[in-house]
Amino acid sequence: MASLIVTPGERIAHAADYEASSGTYERDEYVYASVVGEKRELPPPAGGMRPLIQVHRKKETSAIPEIHSIVTGKVVRVKPREATVSILVVGNVPVRESFQGIIRLQDVRATERDKVQMYKSFRPGDIVRLASFAEMEIEGTWG
């Protein structure tokens, strides 16, 4: 158990044998740990050749929305061209401090984008499920 715990900057594997995953980084043909935690090996992802290597933190940090993650939030402000959302859940994990997201007018739905009216689509207090597709910009679907 003790030998599995690694600290930042510790060399944990050859980059040729493993693919760097969360909690690690790659430099000069080696994979290094970037957080303190337990070293874990995971089977290669679909289409991948090398197994993944990650460092798993015991103490969980707050979830952070990333690009393409599914988030759930509450509409806090509606403007003619955009709605502001306070993100409460990322995937299945509630965040400790809420993040701000924006639903732009052109991203509300896939068809008839020019006929969307923000006031008819959202009201403050609505709970929405969204796919984030750029940092600080979020594409919306009804939830």
- Give the count of residues interacting with another protein (CB under 8 A): 30
Residue 14 lies near another protein (rule: CB under 8 A): no
Dihedral (CA of 121, 125, 127, 129) sign: positive
Q: How far apart are the first and last CA of the chain?
A: 43
CA distance 92 to 97: 15
Residue 22 lies near another protein (rule: CB under 8 A): yes
Residue 5 lies near another protein (rule: CB under 8 A): yes
Residue 139 lies near another protein (rule: CB under 8 A): no
Residue 32 lies near another protein (rule: CB under 8 A): yes
Place of tokens 């403007």: 79
Phi and psi angles of residue 92, each rounded to the nearest 5 degrees, phi first: -110, 5
Residue 121 CB, nearest distance to another protein (Å)?
Answer: 25
Residue 62 lies near another protein (rule: CB under 8 A): yes
Residue 100 lies near another protein (rule: CB under 8 A): yes
CA distance 119 to 102: 15
Q: Which of 15, 34, 70, 76 forms a contact with another protein (CB under 8 A)?
A: 34
| Residue 20 · residue 30 · CB < 8 Å | no
CA distance 42 to 108: 37
Q: Which of 15, 35, 105, 131 forms a contact with another protein (CB under 8 A)?
A: 35
Residues that bind another protein (CB under 8 A): 1-2, 5, 7-11, 22-23, 25, 27, 32, 34-37, 57-59, 61-62, 64-66, 97, 99-100, 135-136
